[in-house]
Amino acid sequence: MKKLRILILITALVMLLCGCDAVVDPQSSVLGAYVDSENNQQDSEEAVKTEMSVLYYKDMDTNPVTTTCYANSELLKLIYSPLVRVDDTFKPYCVLAESFTRDETTVTVKLRSGLVFSDGSAVTATDVVKSFDTAKNNAGSPYNRQTSCMTRYYAQDEQTFVCVFSRQVGDVEAMLDIPVMKNGEAGIGCGPYVFSEKNGKNVLVVNEQYFERANVPVIYLVETKNDENITNLFSAGELDVISSAQSSSLSLTSMRDYSIISAPSNNLIYIGVNYASEFLSDPAVRRALSVALDRDRLAEQSLVGLADPARYPFNPCWYRMSQMPSSVPDAENPTPLLSGKTFSMLVPSGSDIKKAVADGIAENLKSAQVTINITEAAPDEFEAAVKSGAYDLYLGETAISRTMDPTFLYKTGGSMNYLGFSDEGLDAEYEKLKNGEISLSEYLSAFSEKMPLIPVVFRKNVMYCDKNITGFCDMSPWNSFGNFTAVKLK
């Protein structure tokens, strides 16, 4: 993370210009200091890129449903497609599905007609069922948790998959993003690419059977057992793409001409509150702390544009948030309530990013005459302290679910509601939101009234790629590569 902080400082001026989804040209920024613009321009004019390379771990699990290796998980999504996935506004859309309909807690999916696996055999609803079984029967699967809210699922016929959920959830279709494998076993997929070999090397080539043809003909799979070597591979041109998760400990001060692409994520950074504190137990105090935060400044300075400011526990890029008013009414001055107060803030050590955000919050709240004393703790000590309530405030980060449901952080009995915040009224308001009885705006008003936690920002996903690779779109928590069939080489 220290090396990533170096990268962030380098890219500060660039990323300040990023919105919810941006592609940055390093030649027009401070990154240009590391690029020989004239030579690179000549090279790009002379050479046409015909292939690309990505990271791959051959000795790791290559089952798309059970692997916990991030690089392989992202790569395997190019070989195995899901029924449905979310786009960069977190809206579910059809992939292998032709359509999906919902009736309260039941989702019925019609498969695209003529779908086949890479070996030419038909993709059926039975294959979908068996793939879901693989997730449900493997506790370590990244998809296992979402199957726990599925009461049952079955093949109504070979073109129709039905899933019954235990409760009504908005955008529940997003839970159907489990990669589909033939017979529910790794080996044969139905995605835009298939494994192959070229010149004695492992590659992906276009799956001619896929319903949408990919533009990149060959993707070389670059192996490394030393994560620290990834930046050298990228600088040497042997590796063309690095995602933020793969480069979290890297410094990309490369002479290579590359682009930086950012996209919304579901990673929320928030301030947790000790409700046992007499002062902080007052919702008015928590609201005042929230109002005192300058989230735009925090996103720009502490995370140098690699974040989206968030007043609510929903990503502002979420398509449903477009219903919200663009302007926010002036809030009451928080200073009279907070002036002269001192709070301790617990922060996990080993993360320069979180430390930078915590420092930014402390500096930010000085405007309300609030003092924040930051205490860093090792991850295990941090977790124990948070659960025991040994703090006033703590800086937390967590991934919100695919359905953009943040309530596990503060609903009664929520899995990450460590100090047991409970408000039956707020719980009931979320149920009304799910049932369509109230609008999102009405629910957010109820959230703001109670302020069980203080949202700060949603971090962005970041990708670094060769300048001659373009067309990345629909990058989302499901896949950092996004809709890869739109990617082009130039």
- pLDDT the model gives residue 361: 96
Q: Helix, strand, coil % (nearest 5) of the chain?
A: 30, 25, 45
Domains of the chain: 57-222 (3.40.190.10), 264-460 (3.10.105.10)
Buried b (16+ CB within 10 A) or exposed e, 367-395: ebebebebebbeeeebeebbeeeebbbbb
Predicted local confidence at residue 59, as pLDDT: 73
Task: Give SS3 for 458.
Answer: strand
Question: Residue holding tokens 């290559």?
Answer: 62
Which of 235, 279, 277, 276 lies closest to 258, judged by CA? 235
Q: How far is CA 290 from CA 67, 113, 164, 452, in A?
A: 39, 51, 39, 11
Gap between the Cα atoms of 161 and 123, Å rounded = 12
Tell me the angle at which helices 440-450 and 424-434 cross, rounded to the nearest 10 degrees: 170
- Phi, psi (degrees; rounded to nearest 5) at 278: -60, -40
- Chain-centre distance for alpha carbon 234: 23
- Beta strands in 400-479, from DSSP E residues, in sequence order: 454-466, 469-470
Q: How far is CA 387 from CA 402, 419, 420, 424, in A?
A: 25, 7, 10, 22
Tokens of 359: 């420092």
Burial class for 19, CB neighbours closer than 10 Å (0-12, 13-18, 19+): exposed
For 440, the token pair is: 């999102």
**Residues with pLDDT less than 50, the chain:** 1-46, 246-251
Cα 56 off chain centre by: 20
Per-residue pLDDT, 43: 46
- Within 317-473, strands assigned E span 342-348, 371-377, 393-399, 454-466, 469-470
pLDDT digits over 214-271, tens only? 999 999 999 887 777 888 888 888 999 987 654 443 345 566 788 888 889 999 999 9
Quote the pLDDT of residue 343: 96
Instruction: Report the predicted TM-score, pTM, of the whole model to 2 decimal places.
Output: 0.83
Amino acid at 161: F
Q: What was the pLDDT predicted at 96?
A: 97
Alpha-carbon dihedral angle through residues 180, 183, 184, 189, given to the nearest 10 degrees = -40
pLDDT of 254 reads: 61
Residue 64 is predicted with a pLDDT of 94
Q: State the residue for tokens 């609030």.
A: 370
Q: Nearest to residue 409, comparing CAs of 313, 477, 344, 312?
A: 313
Q: 361: closest CA among 258, 256, 271?
A: 271
Give the distance between the most distant pair of CA atoms in the chain. Answer: 71
- What is the end-to-end Cα distance of the chain in Å, rounded? 33
Q: Which residues pair with 307 in a beta bridge?
A: 459
The CA distances from residue 438 to 203, 408, 435, in Å, are: 51, 20, 8
Residue 226 three-state SS: coil
